[in-house]
Structure 1
Amino acid sequence: MKAAVYRHTGPAADVLEVVELERPEPGPNQVRVRIVTSGINPTDSARRAGRAGTGPDEFQVPHHDGAGVVDAVGSRVVGLVPGQRVWVYLAAFDNHYGTAAEYAVVPAERAVPLPDSASDDLGACLGVPALTAAHCLGGNPAALKGQTVLVAGGAGAVGHYAIELAKHAGARVVATVSSDEKRALAEGAGADLVVCYTDPDASRRIRDFAGHVDHVVEVAIGANLDLDMSVLGVGGTIAVYAVRGDLTIPAGHLMSTNTTLKFVLLYGLSPEQLADAVRWTSDALGVGALSSLPIVPYELEQVADAQDKVEQGTVGKVVLRLAEG
């Protein structure tokens, strides 16, 4: 099979190559998926660059997320059959075979049925962003009904799904963005109010709209903590899924308002927490509540360019298209 691999970390153009590998065979609890679309996340390029995790011990096919068709199943697998469309998450976690290849072998629980109404591009966009968003929102949609959620970075991949999942749960959603282009994306995802985070009246506008917010999904806690605290109600939660550098926390203020400050890393979730996030994402997907950001497509042979595009912070979702669905 054709696959993108890297054998040591470094710049994309220096370490990524497309090679022929033996098609992997699934173990008893695994499935093999013929990959149609591979989704690329910042964590994928960070790992390849050596900024996250450790380098490969032999080789690594990158990318955690994807969509395709089950090709073979292990002897102990139930609920999945060859020919079934699936979306895949965390494919490259503790595994040489990510989704930047014609085939990937993953634990069966990491291949989730993809409804006929959902495209392969959409399926490949879910994974890390949607599951991170679901856990940041508490993992339980019933608990969000009637609440107000603030999503920082509402035009990013996690922010996009945080908006859509919160709306699916019956919450009101406020999103912050940095440009008119991103405002349109957040509004398209369903945000009830979108404000520029640099607007000096951002706090007042949010409080005029909502009174207070109950839950914050935060991508840049260092830059946004003052705004978050100014609009968060007593007993609220700030869920942080990305950090840059160290952070000084105003513990006294947060304690006085009974604020929960939660840091979220998808790879550290328990199987039960992951299952909750998958269930919510699948339920929302099944009723048409989830969409993708604008797709920025590349071919497998362009994998280095595609990862560079992600590192440049492009607006939209970068994917590799490997086959027809």
Structure 2
Amino acid sequence: MEYLAVEIKEFSETAPVNGTKLAKRVTRDPGAGEVQVKMTLAAVNPSDVFSLQGIYPRMGRDLPAVPGFDGVGVVTKVGPGVEGFAPGQRVTARPWRADKGDGSWQQYTTIPANLLVPVPDAVSDEVAAQFYINPVTVVGLLEETAVPKGGYLIVTAAGSTLSKMLLSMAKSQGIKTIAVVRRQEQAQEILAAGADHVVCSTTEDLVARVKEITGGVGADAAADSVAGPLAEQLGNSLKTGGLVLIYGIMDGASFTGSAIGVLFNGIVYKGFWMEPWLSGLGPEGQAAVMTKTMDALAAGAMTPDVGKVYPLERYQEAVEESAKTARGGKVLIKLN
């Protein structure tokens, strides 16, 4: 049976969608241990745009390739030896195989059953379509920063979809949060997302405000997606032995830190990239993270924002929309 898929024909750093096209493919019946899925929705993440540009480390170089790490669909067929999945069941994946050129931006896909995650009734398609990249990262950030109940976690770029989920999840675990924004008008929105305090880095002294909030002690850790000069301010805002966990580079590929803070206050700067972190957990640890993530989504401990939804035929507009600031949530592509 023929179906439509977004294919990368050539990589383009300056105009990512220009190297793509909507192409016809033919479905493949599942083999042993495989499941065929009719895709419903796919998310447009920065990692997907990096895939179109050819700069994402996990994206294979063999073209044509179908991008998309996040999405949700319905099982249509199961192969021999598959247990726990049946036609009609909603599923997401950890992740869809964009790194193999067989991602979520297509109407059908056949995938190993061990990569699938069942979607409970309490989780909508719009939320399940965002299961992997952001929610699993939130779980990883909280586990790596290991802030105790009642402790303080600084969250930068607090207006992002991921950061708001992190604020909400931290609150559900009894962690106090200090959200860092660049525009004061974001404050009410961020407080509503679950932040205990909001600091505007462009108009306030971040270090002084954090020390004031924490009674002069400093925060336990910072989850930072900005890097750049802000990283030094974050380090100076932490208590002795505090951790700055950098998981993004919104302000460039380098960062500054205080050598005095590292030497005499035991401040640690560390990077977080989800794939190596998950690999280090082993199969049982990975399964536990997926369960914890889905349970949190089902319970409403974190809820991804949903932005505009585009039909598959308008996927290029979806990619362009995803690059806009203040877009209101994750952009999705409706596949079927």
Counterpart code for 2:72: A
**TM-score of the two chains, using structure 1 as the length reference:** 0.89
1:274/1:177 Cα in 2 relative to 1: closer, same or farther (>3 Å)?
farther
Higher relative contact order (CA 8 A, sep 6+): 1
Query: Gaps (5+ residues) in structure 2?
Result: none
Please state if 1:319 is matched with 2:332. Answer: yes
Q: Which residue of 2 aligns with 1:220?
A: 226
TM-score (normalised: structure 2) = 0.86
User: Is residue 306 from structure 1 mapped to residue 318 from structure 2 by the alignment?
Assistant: yes
Q: What secondary structure is seen at the aligned counterpart in 2 of 1:24? A: coil
My pick for the range that moved more, 296-305 or 67-76, is: 67-76
Structure number with larger C-alpha Rg: 2
Deviation of 1:122 (Å) = 1.0
The C-alpha deviation readout for 1:253-291, integer Å capped at 9, x for no partner, is 224222332211223231535434323312212222121
> Secondary structure of 2:26's match?
coil
Distance of 1:21 and 1:65 partners within structure 2: 20
> Are 2:126 and 1:124 aligned?
no
Q: Which amino acid aligns with 1:308?
A: E
Change (3 A) 1:235 1:102: same
Q: Distance in 2 between matches of 1:234 and 1:3?
A: 52
Partner of 2:191: 187
Match of 2:237 in 1: 231
Residue 98 of structure 1 deviates from its aligned partner by 0.9
In 1, Cα distance between the equivalents of 2:267 and 2:30? 45
Q: Secondary structure at the match of 1:208?
A: helix
Question: Are positions 1:20 and 2:32 aligned together?
Answer: no
> Could you say what secondary structure the match of 1:128 adopts?
helix
RMSD: 2.4
What fraction of aligned residue pairs are identical, expressed as a percent?
27
Equivalence for 1:289: 301
Q: Deviations over 1:130-164 (max 9, x none)?
A: 112221222698x6422211111112132122112
CA distance in 1, matches of 2:237, 2:212: 10
1:69 equivalent among 67, 74, 79: 74
Distance 1:262-1:104 versus aligned 2 partners, 3 A rule: farther
1:234-265 per-residue CA deviation (whole Å, 9 max, x = no partner) reads: 22222111122233443442242223322112
Residues 1:27 and 1:171: Cα distance change in structure 2 (over 3 Å): farther
The one-letter code matched in structure 2 to 1:268 is: P
Other-structure match for 1:9: 11
What are the residue-to-residue correspondences of 1:206-285 with 2, within 5 Å? Answer: 206-211=210-215, 212-243=218-249, 244-269=252-277, 270=279, 271-272=281-282, 274-285=286-297
User: Residue in 1 aligned with 2:105?
Assistant: 100
Q: What CA distance in whole angstroms lies between the structure 2 residues aligned with 1:144 and 1:76?
A: 43
One-letter code of the match for 2:137? T
Residue 86 of structure 1: CA displacement? 2.2
| Contact 1:139–1:280 under 8 Å retained in 2 | no
CA deviation map 1:266-320 (0-9, x unaligned): 2323153543432331221222212122422111111112112223445321111
- Counterparts of 1:137 and 1:52 in 2: how far apart (Å)? 24
Verify the 8 A CA contact 1:176 1:196 in the aligned structure 2.
yes
User: 1:215 offset after TM fit, Å?
Assistant: 1.9
Aligned length: 322
* CA shift for structure 1 position 178: 2.3
Map 1:56-205 to 2 at 5 A. 56-138=61-143, 144-180=148-184, 182-205=186-209
**Which stretch has the larger CA shift, 309-318 or 185-194?**
309-318
Q: What amino acid is aligned across from residue 6 of structure 1 in structure 2?
A: I
